[in-house]
Amino acid sequence: MTASFNVPDGISFEDLKKAMADAQPEPCTHEGDCDHDSDVPSKDQIMAAGDKALELAIELANDPVVHKYMLAEIINNMIRWHTCMGEELRDQDQLGSSTGWLRDAGKFQAIMNILLTIDVGVCDWMTE
């Protein structure tokens, strides 16, 4: 028995770009504390939101320690997210993926350790 496939001889870069633009994002499969909305914002929306948050923070507290504090909170969120994902995958017996997520949580812990040794000014209560 012979299978017949309809495979084109080639595809243009423009066709690939159109296919990417038309592609639907995969739904989020995370549950519990790791759950988030499947309506994923665009790169531009994410960058605009981040920029606006950084600008607002410095307007509210005109000192670089506000950004260091924000960074520390973001790193803590990443530690929790990666730990949660690692544990969830471990519970699903996906040990290879689980290990990767947990290792990345450790990398974020190392980033936090370094961050807490960097002094950003007289208002920096976080420097060890």
Report yes or no on 77 lying in a domain.
yes
pLDDT at residue 94, as a whole number: 87
Report yes or no on 89 lying in a domain.
yes
Name the amino acid, one letter, at 22: D
**How many structural domains are present in the chain?**
1
Using CA atoms, how far apart are residues 105 and 121, in angstroms rounded to an integer? 28
In sequence order, the 6+-apart residues with CB closer than 8 A to the CB of 121 are 63, 64, 65
* C-alpha to C-alpha distances, 3 to 8, 26, 37, 124, nearest whole angstrom: 15, 29, 41, 68
Residue 85: exposed, middle, or buried by beta-carbon count in 10 A (0-12, 13-18, 19+)?
A: buried
Range of the domain at 91: 63-128
pLDDT at residue 84, as a whole number: 95
Please indicate, yes or no, whether the overall pTM of this predicted structure exceeds 0.75: no
pLDDT at residue 14, as a whole number: 64
Residue 112: exposed, middle, or buried by beta-carbon count in 10 A (0-12, 13-18, 19+)?
A: middle
Report yes or no on 85 lying in a domain.
yes
Instruction: Return per-residue pLDDT of the chain as tens, 128 residues.
Output: 455 545 455 555 565 556 656 665 544 444 444 445 567 889 999 999 999 999 999 999 999 999 999 999 999 999 999 999 999 999 999 888 999 999 999 999 999 999 999 999 999 999 97
Report yes or no on 100 lying in a domain.
yes
